[in-house]
Amino acid sequence: MKGARSVIAFLLLGILWGSSFVAIEVGIPFFPPILFAALRYYIAGMAILVYALFTVEYQRPRSSKDWIVIAITGIFLIGGHHALLYIGQQYVSGAVAAIVISLSPILTTAFATLFLDDSLTFFTALGLLFGLSGVVLVTNPTGSTVLTVSVIGIGFVFASAACFGLGSVLTRPFRTSMPVQSMQAYSMLFGALLLHGVSFCIGEDWDKIIWTMSAVASLGYLAIVSGAFAFLLYFQLLDHYGPVEINLIGYFEPVTAAILSWIIFGQLINLPTIGGFILILVGFITIKRRSIKGIIESCTLCYT
């Protein structure tokens, strides 16, 4: 995958992951939220596991580090992250959820200063301040709106972003040679089991699922298209892009979500929400300024 093909794959991945927020919004009226997430990752995990069985030799966890990474990923990046996201999306649009989730790389940096050896620099603190200010602007907690369901929903989505960031940091100390395909499949399936367990414990009932065409289409799209297929694209892009470039996909997702929300639901995001997204993006650029500068310089050299 080189040149134009990798750029197309990069943009396509942003579209697929951005559209997932809108697909959740389509399906959430028909499913108990946590059970909805569990079903998605049962299907996606099995699909990626089948792919791994035919493409990699190292198909099963072999070491304690493999199991630790699977456990952390399943608990935080699949289970906790999506449980909170799906609950939050009962109250906010997919576009707003995508904007708040784009804070994840900034929170990852913040958690790294707490739990790893990363130092808290002035620019890290400034970037975090920009990012948090962006979330506040999206929430717009003024006067009587402080306790609205929208603000509560954004709170859940923010917690989802924090859960993802924390999980990303907790996996860093554990080096494993297990292929990312197998690792992702087992993590998804473990996360799905956890989600299903939580769903059962809080009394979510299969009988509450309303099996309509919209429900089936939403679940199928989330599991196969923006789930399994999107992750296969992600695996390919990992060989060609660094972590900063991959994180930039997260800032293309809200654009996709906003356009699809307008097309499907007729929803338009307001100016404070746009301003909040810009602040979050500025926060990411502030923290990753050196890496982004290196990327720009590399691209400049390629085309001169």
Most confident range (mean pLDDT) of 2-11, 125-134, 166-175 is 166-175
- From 162-166, 197-201, 257-261, the region with the lowest mean pLDDT: 257-261
Q: Which structural domain, as residue segments, surrounds residue 18?
A: 3-302
Res. 44 pLDDT band, cuts 50 70 90: very high
| pLDDT above 80 for 303 | no
| pLDDT above 70 for 191 | yes
Rounded CA separation 184/188 (Å):
6
Average pLDDT (70-79) is: 96
Number of domain units in the chain? 1
Res. 175 pLDDT band, cuts 50 70 90: confident
The closest of 91, 132, 90 to 110, measured between CA atoms, is: 132
pLDDT of residue 90: 96
| pLDDT above 80 for 205 | yes
Rounded CA separation 303/20 (Å):
34
| pLDDT above 70 for 70 | yes
Res. 143 pLDDT band, cuts 50 70 90: very low
pLDDT of residue 297: 59
Average pLDDT (220-236) is: 91
Q: What is the mean pLDDT of the chain?
A: 86
Average pLDDT (149-158) is: 89
* Amino acid at position 4, single letter: A
Rounded CA separation 90/74 (Å):
23
Rounded CA separation 117/137 (Å):
31
Rounded CA separation 204/48 (Å):
27
| pLDDT above 70 for 1 | no
| pLDDT above 90 for 135 | no
